[in-house]
Amino acid sequence: MRTLSTKAPESADGTTGPRAPSRRRRPVREKQWPAYVFLSPWMIGAGVVTLLPMAVSLYLSFTDYNLFDAPNWVGLRNYAEMLFEDPRYWRSVGTTLLYVLVAVPLKLILALGAAMLLKNLNRGRGFYRSAFYAPSLLGASMSIALVWRALFNDGGTVPDVLAALGIDTGGWVGNPHLAVYTVVLLTVWQFGAPMVIFLAGLQQISPDLYEAAALDGAGPWRQFVAVTVPMLSPVVFFNLVLEIINSFQVFTPAFAVSSGDGGPADSTLFYTLFLYERGFTASHMGYAAAMAWLLLLAVGVITLILFRTSRSWVFYADEEGR
Amino acid sequence: MPEPRSARRRPPSRRAVLTAATAGLATVLVSTLTGCSAADGGTSQGVTLTFSWWGNDNRAERTDEAVRLFEKEHPGVTVRTSNSDFGSYLQKLATQAAGGGMPDVAQLDYRQISRYAGSGALMPLGEAIGNKTIRTDEIDQQFLRTGSYEGGQYALPMGRGITGYAYDSALYAKAGVPTPQPSWTWQDWENANKKIAALGLKSPDGRPVTGANDGGGNQDVFETWLRSRGGQLYASQTRLGFTEDDLAEFWAFCDRLRREGAIAAAEDTTQANSTETSPIGRGLAAADFTWDAPFPGYAKLLGESTHFAPVPSTNGRAGSYFKPSMLVGISANTKHPKEAAQLIDFLLNDPRAGDILGFTRSTPPNRVIAANVSKTLKGPELEIYQYAQTMEKYGLAAPPTAPPPGDLPINTAFKRNYQRVMFGLATPRQAARELIEEANRELRS
C-alpha cells in the first residue's frame, strides 16, 4: 500500500508541474478506505435504489413484463412497437416537445427579467426574492396542480376574468387546444428557482465593466447586450440545461390537469404520463421501461448537443487568455 | 461491547471508531428489518388484516362501520382498511400485488379476475367454501361463477349491478317526454334530447340546457347500445366482438346529436371528472348514463325529481345486464387465511353487516339479505331495487363472460378516441379504426 501510494503521485509529477509534490507528499491513500466506510450509506443507497433498479429496468425493457406473470424475453419488440406501430407514442413526443419549446424559453426570460429588476432594488429585495421563489417550492405539489385545474376550468377564475375582458375562451381544461397551456403556465409561474440563480450570477458581474461601458457611452440596452449577456452566459447555460432536463420529465401538473389520462384527446399526453399509463394502467411494464430508456437517451443526446454548441456562445471569464 | 466503553477514556483509536461506525450501520439495517416485519402485522397479541376497496364516502363510511362490528365480534383481530377512487385503486393494487404486498382482503373489479387468478395472486377459495367458513348457499350459483377462473373459485361477487339512466323527471315532464319505459328506444332518446334542448332553458351560468351527458366516450353505454342490437364487446379473451362499422355508427350518432345541441357540449364533457363537475351536475344536461349503485348519489346531489330509468333499447331489446359490480378476494400471500375468510363471510352473509352496508355495492348477492334489506329501503335506494326487479322481469339477455385483462386500457382508449371525434380531430370512422387497432394490440399481448 505504502509504496504504491507514494509512487503514484510521483508519476503524476511530471505533468502537473513543480509545486505538486510538496502538496501530495502526505500518504493520503492509506487513509482512503475509512472514507469509503463513511460514504457507504450513500453508496449502498445509490446502488440499491438507483443503479440496481436501472439495470432491472433495462432488462425489463426487452421483456413483456406485465406485473403479474414472469417476464418473457421479446428482444426489441417494445422498441419497435412504440417507434413504428403506436401513433400515441409520437403524439406524446410531440406534446412534450411543444411544451419544452414553449415553457423553457418563457420561464427563463421571465426569470432573467425578474432578476434584472431585483438586482437594482435596494429595499425589499429579500422580500421579493422570497415571494417570487415561493411558487417554485409549492408548484411541484399535487394540491397546487389541482388548484390550477380549478382556476382554468369552465367557470373558474381565469376564463371568467378573460370573458369579462371580452376574450371568451371557455374552460381551458376541457379544450384540447388550450389544456396544454395550463401546464405551460403552471411551469412558467415557477420561474423563481432560475431567477435566484440569475440574480446570483448578476451580482458576480464586476461593476467595473458597467462603469467602463458607461464611459464609452453605452446605454442600458447596449450594456445589457454587451456586458450582461456575455458575462451571464454560463448561468444562462446552466439554467437552460437544467430546465430542459426537468421539462422533459414533467408529470404532476399534467396528471392533475387531465385527471391522469392525458386528455382531452391526448392534448396533455406528456411523455412521462404516457409512460405511466402504459406501465400502471395497461400493465405493460416492459413497454414503459423501454420508453424510459429512450427518454434517457434523448435527453442525454440533447444535453450533449447543448454542451457542444455552448462552446460557441458561452463565455467563461476565467478561461479568457488560455 | 466493552470495547466502545473503554475507548471513552483514551482518545479513540481509528479501529474503535470504525467498529462503532460499522456497528451503528448494522443497527440501522437491523432496525429497518425489524421495522418491516412489525409493519407486516405479525404481532403476537392478535391478527391484523388489511382490507382495501374503492368507492365514494358513503360506501367508505358504511364499510368502516361494518368492519368495526366484525372486530368487536372477533376479539384480537384488527382490520386496517384503506380505500381510494376507482382509477387509482386498480393501479395501486396491481403494484402491491406485483411486490407481494397485496392486502389480505381486496375488493376486485370484474376485469381483474382473470389476471389476478391466472398469475396466482389470489388464494383459491374452494377450501373456505367447502368448510363453510364462507357460506355461499344463498348466492345464485350462476352469479357466483363470475368469480371463478378455470374451474376454481377465486373471488366472490359483492354486489349485482346494472346500467341505467338517471334523469330529471321535472324537465322530462316540462318537455312533454313520457316517463322512459324499458322498451323505449334510442330513437325515443334522440327525440327526448331534442325536445329538452328546444325548451331553451338556461343553466345557472347562463348556458343552454341539453338533453343528456354525451355517452359517446363511455364504453358501458356503447356496450349497452351494442347488446341492444344483438352484439357484444368481446367475442373471446383475445378477440373483439364488434366491427369498425358498429363503432363508427355509434360515434356518428352521438357526434350528430352533440353538434345539433341536443346533448352536452364537448368541453363540458371533457373537463368533467366527477358527477358534480359533469354536465348534469352543473345543470347543463337533464340526464346521464350511470350504474345503479351510484344513483343515490345523483339523487342526493340533484334533488328529488331525479329518477332512475332503463337505458334505451333497440326495438324493445334491452342491452343492460346484471354484472358483478365488484368482487372480493384474498391475497395468496396472506398470513391469516382463516380470519380473511371470516371477514368476507361476515361482509357477505351477516344480516347486521347487510343492514349497515345496504345497497352501497348494488344489490347484495345473498338473496336473504337482499330481501331483508329491501324492506327497510326508501327513496333512491328503493328505486334502484325496484328497477333491478323490473328489468329482471322485462327480460335481459345472458351476461357476457368476464372481460379480458386488456379491457382496462381499451376502456380508457374508448374515451380518448371519442374525444378526438368531439373536437373534430378525427372523423368517427378514423377514430373507430384507431381504437380497433389499439384494442387488437392490447388483446394480442
The DSSP-derived string for B41-78 is T--SS-EEEEEEEE--HHHHHHHHHHHHHHHHHSTTEE
Cβ neighbour number for residue B363 with a 10 Å cutoff: 24
CA angle A43, A48, A50 (to 5 degrees): 85
* Residue B262 contacts residue B193 (beta carbons within 8 Å): yes
Q: B303: buried, middle or exposed (CB in 10 Å: 19+, 13-18, 0-12)?
A: exposed
Q: Decide if A280 and B94 are in contact by the 8 Å CB cutoff.
A: yes
CA A63 to chain centre: 30
Q: A159: buried, middle or exposed (CB in 10 Å: 19+, 13-18, 0-12)?
A: buried
Beta bridge partners of B331: B122
A-chain CB neighbours of B97 within 8 Å are: 67-68
> How confident is the model at residue A266, as a pLDDT?
87
A-chain CB neighbours of B90 within 8 Å are: 281
> How confident is the model at residue A136, as a pLDDT?
87
* Residue B97 contacts residue A67 (beta carbons within 8 Å): yes
- The CA distance from B161 to B258, in Å, is 29
pLDDT at B430 over 50: yes
Cβ neighbour number for residue A36 with a 10 Å cutoff: 9
Pairing of strands B77-84, B47-54: parallel
Cβ neighbour number for residue A70 with a 10 Å cutoff: 9
> How confident is the model at residue A11, as a pLDDT?
41
Distances (CA, A) of B331 to B50, B82, B96, B120, B404: 10, 15, 10, 9, 21
- The CA distance from A4 to A25, in Å, is 13
Q: A167: buried, middle or exposed (CB in 10 Å: 19+, 13-18, 0-12)?
A: exposed
Distance from CA of A28 to the nearest CA of B (A): 15
Which of A118-132, B4-18, B215-229, B253-267 has the lowest average pLDDT?
Answer: B4-18
A-chain CB neighbours of B118 within 8 Å are: 68-69
Break chain B down into helix, strand, coil percent, rounded to 5: 50, 15, 35
Distance from CA of B409 to the nearest CA of A (A): 5
Strand intervals (E) in B96-162: 105-108, 148-149, 152-153, 155-161
State the pTM of this model.
0.79
Question: What b/e string do you get for B395-429 counting C-beta neighbours within 10 Å, with b at 16 or more?
Answer: ebeebeebbbbbbbbbbbbbbbbbbbbbbebbebb
Q: Decide if B25 and A261 are in contact by the 8 Å CB cutoff.
A: no
Of B242, B198, B205, nearest to B222 (Cα)? Answer: B242
> How confident is the model at residue B20, as a pLDDT?
47
pLDDT at B198 over 80: yes
Secondary element (H or E) of residue B419: helix B407-422
Q: Who has greater pLDDT, B200 or A30?
A: B200
B-chain CB neighbours of A260 within 8 Å are: 87-88
Grid cell 378573460 is found at: A162
Of B12, B16, B101, B98, nearest to B52 (Cα)? Answer: B101
- The CA distance from B235 to A188, in Å, is 49
Of B161, B112, B53, nearest to B388 (Cα)? Answer: B161
CA A282 to chain centre: 28
pLDDT at B370 over 50: yes
Distances (CA, A) of B419 to B185, B355, B412: 25, 42, 11
Please give the span between the terminal C-alpha atoms of chain A, in angstroms, as a whole number.
Answer: 38
> How confident is the model at residue B15, as a pLDDT?
52
Q: What is the mean pLDDT of residues B345-351?
A: 94
> How confident is the model at residue A28, as a pLDDT?
56
Q: What is the DSSP string of A49-103?
A: IIIHHHHHHHHHTTB---SSSPP-B-TTHHHHIIIII-HHHHHHHHHHHHHHHHH
pLDDT at B4 over 50: no
B99: closest chain A residue by CA: A67
Segments of chain A with pLDDT less than 50: 1-22, 321-322
Q: What is the DSSP string of B72-109?
A: HHSTTEEEEEEEE-HHHHHHHHHHHHHTT---SEEEE-
A243 near B CB under 8 A: no
pLDDT at B45 over 70: no
Identify which of A34, A177, A280 has the shortest CB distance to residue B18.
Answer: A34
Distance from CA of A265 to the nearest CA of B (A): 5
**Digit-coded pLDDT (tens) for B64-82:** 999 999 999 999 999 999 9
> How confident is the model at residue A146, as a pLDDT?
86
pLDDT at B34 over 50: no
Question: Best mutation site among B213, B214, B271, B438 for testing chain A: the one with the most A CBs within 10 Å?
Answer: B271
Distance from CA of A284 to the nearest CA of B (A): 9
Which of A129-133, B19-23, B41-45 has the lowest average pLDDT?
Answer: B41-45
Distances (CA, A) of B306 to A3, A53, B167, B295, B298: 90, 52, 5, 9, 7
> How confident is the model at residue A257, as a pLDDT?
84
B-chain CB neighbours of A175 within 8 Å are: 267, 270, 423
- The CA distance from A172 to A152, in Å, is 5
Amino acid occupying residue B149: Y
